[in-house]
């Protein structure tokens, strides 16, 4: 579990991460901020609706707009 890999100071606890992780993977982990309780839960959001909730309708609308436009809004 990711929470088990965080030190009491809130940083990655490198001693608990598997020692056989390749250096490039460790480098990728190092640039990611560890989860913090005060930041709240990490939940995905859908940027194409006002309430940030994904719906099939909003995805269809977004994709339909892509077909009618020559520029990509992403």
User: Is the predicted pLDDT of residue 73 greater than 70, yes or no?
Assistant: no
User: 25 or 1, which is more confident?
Assistant: 25
In this structure, the number of other CB atoms found within 10 A of the CB of residue 63 comes to: 10
Going from the C-alpha of 64 to that of each of 47, 58, 60, the distances in angstroms are 16, 10, 6
What is the rounded CA–CA span in Å between residue 19 and residue 5? 13
Claim: this prediction has a pTM higher than 0.75: no
| Domain map (residue ranges) of the chain | 1-36, 43-74
What is the rounded CA–CA span in Å between residue 55 and residue 16? 39
Helix (H, G, I), strand (E, B) or coil at 45: coil
User: 70 or 20, which is more confident?
Assistant: 20
Collect all residues with Cβ–Cβ distance below 8 Å to 55 and sequence separation of at least 6. Answer: 46, 49
Reported as a single tens digit per residue, the pLDDT across 6-53 is: 888 888 998 888 887 898 999 999 998 887 777 777 678 888 899 989
């Amino acid at each position: 579990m990711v929470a088990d890999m965080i030190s009491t100071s809130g940083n990655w606890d490198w001693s608990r991460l598997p020692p056989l992780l390749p250096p490039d993977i460790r480098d990728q982990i190092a640039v990611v901020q560890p989860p913090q309780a005060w930041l709240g839960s990490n939940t995905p959001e859908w940027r194409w609706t006002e309430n940030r909730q994904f719906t099939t309708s909003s995805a269809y609308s977004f994709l339909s707009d892509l077909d009618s436009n020559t520029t990509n809004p992403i």
